[in-house]
Amino acid sequence: MRFDVFSLFPEVFQPYLEISILKRAIQKELIEVHTHNIRDWATDKHHTTDDTPYGGGGGMIMKSEPVFAAVESVLGAPPACPVILLCPQGELFNQSIARELASFDHLALICGRYESFDERIRQHLATRVLSIGDYVLTGGELPALVVMDAVARLRPGVLGDNEATDDDSFSEDGLLEYPQWTKPAKFRGWSVPEIMTNGNLGEQLKWKRQQSLIRTLKNRPDLLEKASLTDKDRKFLREYIEEQDSLTD
């Protein structure tokens, strides 16, 4: 899978790409990342990539000319791959979108800076606008890394021998992941739940599912509205909620 990233600060990406899972994926040629400095396509002597907004207002706006020139010079016109604009006003990025994007062999990511983009970039160049949360960052570089990391790990072979994404939080069933422990069984007087050490896989799987339901109910109850729940799941949640209500009466 190939990522083409367009940014005013491409040097931001290299340190993260040189560690851990993404580094191994690049070495194995499972993914490749190409960064491009938008400023290289600015035509004036100062390599200007921003200007004041029409209609007034604070901040500077990223100019359309260098962004279009950069993307089309690398990818062609129109680009044959999805072109994603990272912007706080975009669609909220989630695991479902990550799975969707992982089905492509080529993605382009445009990182903003300054106050905003010229709207023509959004309307006529980007094919999708994504946000990683309801907050504002100084640029789109961190969101681009988030998207690349989330998408790349879903590609075959990237996680190697530890390839197990079905139980991750926000996996296909839409629930948060259950709590997990490792050795030692007792640490500072805190013990791993007995059910996780009794060797009964059937009981453990049932308990994990229940813990996943409880954790989602407590921390992200909004996810339950779209989660894939069985009748047993719903019955367990009803009984759990009734039990908790009785404890507070």
221 belongs to the catalytic site: no
Q: Identify the CATH number of the domain in which residue 201 sits.
A: 1.10.1270.20
Residue type, 181: W
Two tokens at 146?
A: 């988030």
Same domain, 198 and 132: no
The reported pLDDT for the residue numbered 173 is 82
Q: Identify the CATH number of the domain in which residue 53 sits.
A: 3.40.1280.10
Q: Poorest-confidence range of 96-110, 128-142, 149-163, 217-231?
A: 149-163
pLDDT tops 60 at residue 28: yes
168 belongs to the catalytic site: yes
Question: What pTM, to 2 d.p., does this model score?
Answer: 0.86
Q: Where are the beta strands (DSSP E) in 132-219?
A: 186-187, 190-191
Count: domains in the chain? 2
The reported pLDDT for the residue numbered 113 is 87
Two tokens at 189?
A: 């007087």
pLDDT tops 60 at residue 239: yes
Average pLDDT value for residue range 7-22: 95
Residue 105 counted as domain residue:
yes
Residue 171 counted as domain residue:
no
Active-site annotation holder among 39, 88, 100, 177: 88
Same domain, 42 and 114: yes
SS3 label, residue 162: helix
CA atoms of 61 and 54, how far apart (whole Å): 9
pLDDT band at 56 (very low <50, low <70, confident <90, very high): confident
Same domain, 153 and 216: no
Domain range holding 144?
2-161
Same domain, 62 and 128: yes
The reported pLDDT for the residue numbered 33 is 98
Residue 170 counted as domain residue:
no
Active-site annotation holder among 91, 163, 168, 242: 168
Residues 95-126 pLDDT 10s: 999 999 999 999 999 998 888 899 999 999 99
153 belongs to the catalytic site: yes
Average pLDDT value for residue range 39-59: 92
Active-site annotation holder among 115, 149, 173, 177: 115
Same domain, 148 and 190: no
215 belongs to the catalytic site: no
Nearest residue to 204 (alpha-carbon basis) of 171, 184, 178: 178
Same domain, 130 and 60: yes
Contact, 66 vs 125, CB < 8 A?
Answer: no
Residues 155-199 pLDDT 10s: 999 997 655 555 566 666 889 999 999 999 999 999 999 999 999
